[in-house]
Amino acid sequence: MLYDAVIVGSGFGGAFTALALTEAGLRVLLLERGQPVARDDGDWDPRQILLGERYRGAPVQVRQYGARKYSDMHHHEVVGGSSVFYGGASLRMRPADLERWPITYDDLEPHYTRAEALLDVHGIAGADPHDPPRSAPYPRASIDFTSPAKRIHDAARTLGHRPFALPMALNFRDDSRPLCILCNTCDGYPCRIEAKNDLTATVPRQAQTQGLEIRAGVIAKRLVSDGARVRELECVDGETGEDYVFTGSRYIVAGGALQTPALLLRSGLGATPGGRWVGRRLMRHCNAVVTGVFRKRTNPEATFHKQLCFTDFYDDMRDRFGTATGTIQDIYTPARQVIEHHAPPGLRWAAGWLTAFMQNLLCIAEDDPRVDNRVTLGEPDRFGVAAPRVDHEYCAADYERRDYLVARARRVLQVAGAWTTRVYEIDSFSHGVGSVGMASTPEQGALDAQCKVWGMDNLWVPDGSAFSTSSGVNPSLTIAANALRVTPAMIATNA
C-alpha cells in the first residue's frame, strides 16, 4: 500500500505530526519499535521500571564525562516514546530562547496554544514571572500545592523568589477519563491508570479515529532514496526478524535525538547539503538533582509533589552567554530500592532508611550546542542495524550555569529545613535534543526552517533532534508545537 506519509517514532514529534496529517485527510502509517505499555501493577514497581528490564530497548553506546571507553546505556522502548515515562511538565520556551533558531516565538505561539489544548495542560497564565506572551489561557487551572511542595514554596518565598505552579499535562480535572490519584509513581514510570496525558492516552487515539494506522514492534532500518526523493523505508520486525518495506509519498523521521540521526546516517543522508550536521550538536541540558536531608519525614503520605517551578534566574546569564540559565523544579525522591541500589555496599540500609527524610529539587540548565557532542554509528545489532554511538562532554559554561542554579536550590532546601544537601548529576539523555538541527542555510544545519532535510524533497525531522538550541525549559511542549507548526508545509508539498 502506498501511504501519503510514513512516520518513524511515536513520541512527541511523531504523534503530533501524525495527528495533524490525518486531520488533513492523509493516509498515515506510524511505525514504532517498542510495544504498547502493559498498564498493570508492574508499571508502578520501582524494581521493574527504574532498575529492571521491563521495557528495556537495545543498547546505545555512550562515552561521557572524560571516559576513555564506551559503555552501554539502555532507554525504554514503548509506543508513545519517552512521553510514557515523562513527568508532564509543559513549559514554553521564551522569545529570547529562539534567537539562534531560524524561526521566532511568534511562529510557534499558536501551535503552543494548540499543543497545550491537546495535552490538556493545567497551569496559571501569568504566574510565571517570565511567562512568554500567550494568546489563550491554559486549558485547565493547576491544583493546590500538596504539603511537600508547599514546604519548598514557602521557603522560596522567604528568600524573595517567585515560585509558581509548574504547568502539567496530567489529568487532575477531566472526570470523563481516569483522574490522577496524586501518587508518587509518576515521573519515570508509566501511569498504571492512564491519568498521564502522554502519547498513548490522547493525541494518537484521536488520530486513530481519523484513520491513523500504528504498527508496533517495527524497527526502521534504512531510508532508500533516488536523488532528492526517499523512495521506500526498509524495516525489520523486532520479534520475528521478518523484513518489510513501506512506501509513502512523504517520510517523517521522529525517532528521538539519538535514534533519528542514526537512521539518517544509516541511510547515507550524511551526504545531503547540510549532512555534515547530522548527529552533531547533541544537547540534553546540564541537569542536576539537589537532595536535601531533613530531620523529619518529608512526605509521609507518599503524595505527588512535582508542582513547583522557579524561573527567577532564567535570564541572569543571558548577557554573558547568550543563553538561558535555566529553571529549578520540584522532583520526586527515588524509591527506597533505587537509593539502596546506588549506595555503596556497606551503606545500603542506612541510605535506604534516609529516603523518607529526603526532598529534591531538579536544576535544568541550558547547554551549548557543541559540534563534538555527537551521534555516530556503532556496532550492528542482531538484525545488522548499526546502533547510535554517542560522544558527549559538557563545557565550562554548561557547568557554570548548572552550578548557579544548584547554589540557589541548595539555599531553598536549607531554608526549608534541610540539615545537609548533596548534588547528583543526571547522566541520561532524557532531555536529548538538537542532533540534526534546523538552520537558515545548509551550511549551518541539516534541516530547513520547516524541518525538511536540506536537499531532500519528501523527508522531514520534526522531533527533538530539530532543536537549534536547548533553552532552559523541558523540551516536550516545544517538540509538540514545532511538529504542529511544520505539518502544513508537509501537506502542501506536492508529493
Ligand X SMILES: Cc1cc2nc3c(=O)[nH]c(=O)nc-3n(C[C@H](O)[C@H](O)[C@H](O)COP(=O)(O)OP(=O)(O)OC[C@H]3O[C@@H](n4cnc5c(N)ncnc54)[C@H](O)[C@@H]3O)c2cc1C
Q: Which residue from 4, 252, 475, 487 is in contact with ligand X, where contact means CB under 6 A?
A: 475
Determine the residue with CB nearest ligand X. Answer: 11
| Sheet-wide strand order for 308-310 | 164-165, 308-310, 326-331, 358-365, 286-293, 420-425
Nearer to ligand X, 381 or 457 (CB): 381
Contact yes or no for 282/389 (Cβ under 8 A)? no
Entry field: residues in the chain: 495
Q: Which residue from 116, 187, 340, 368 is in contact with ligand X, where contact means CB under 6 A?
A: 187
What DSSP character marks residue 291?
E
Contact yes or no for 295/444 (Cβ under 8 A)? no
171 binds ligand X (CB under 6 A): no
Give the count of residues interacting with ligand X (CB under 6 A): 38
Spatial distance between the Cα atoms of 347 and 467, rounded to a whole number of angstroms:
42
* Closest C-alpha among 254, 200, 168 to residue 486: 254
Contact characters 78-97, ligand X, x per CB under 6 A? ---xxx-xxxxx--------
Nearer to ligand X, 195 or 479 (CB): 479
Nearer to ligand X, 274 or 432 (CB): 432
Spatial distance between the Cα atoms of 167 and 330, rounded to a whole number of angstroms:
12
Q: Which stretch binds ligand X (CB under 6 A): 26-34, 42-50, 148-156, 313-321?
A: 26-34
Q: Which residue from 4, 6, 32, 275 is in contact with ligand X, where contact means CB under 6 A?
A: 32
Spatial distance between the Cα atoms of 479 and 470, rounded to a whole number of angstroms:
11
447-478 burial code (b ≥16 CB/10 A, e <16): bbbbbbbbbbebbbbbbbbbbbbbbbbbbbbb
Nearer to ligand X, 11 or 275 (CB): 11
Q: Which residue from 3, 6, 7, 10 is in contact with ligand X, where contact means CB under 6 A?
A: 10
Q: Which residue from 4, 45, 77, 116 is in contact with ligand X, where contact means CB under 6 A?
A: 77
Cell output for 358? 529526603
Label the pairing between strands 218-226 and 243-253.
unpaired
Q: Which stretch binds ligand X (CB under 6 A): 8-16, 291-299, 391-399, 412-420?
A: 8-16
323 binds ligand X (CB under 6 A): no
Give min distance, CB of 175 to ligand X, in A: 23
Residues 404-463 interacting with ligand X (rule: CB under 6 A): 430-431, 463
* Closest C-alpha among 357, 337, 340, 307 to residue 44: 337
Nearer to ligand X, 200 or 294 (CB): 200
Contact yes or no for 47/272 (Cβ under 8 A)? no
Residues near ligand X (CB under 6 A) are 8-14, 31-34, 77, 81-83, 85-89, 187-188, 219-220, 254-256, 259, 263, 430-431, 463-464, 474-477, 479
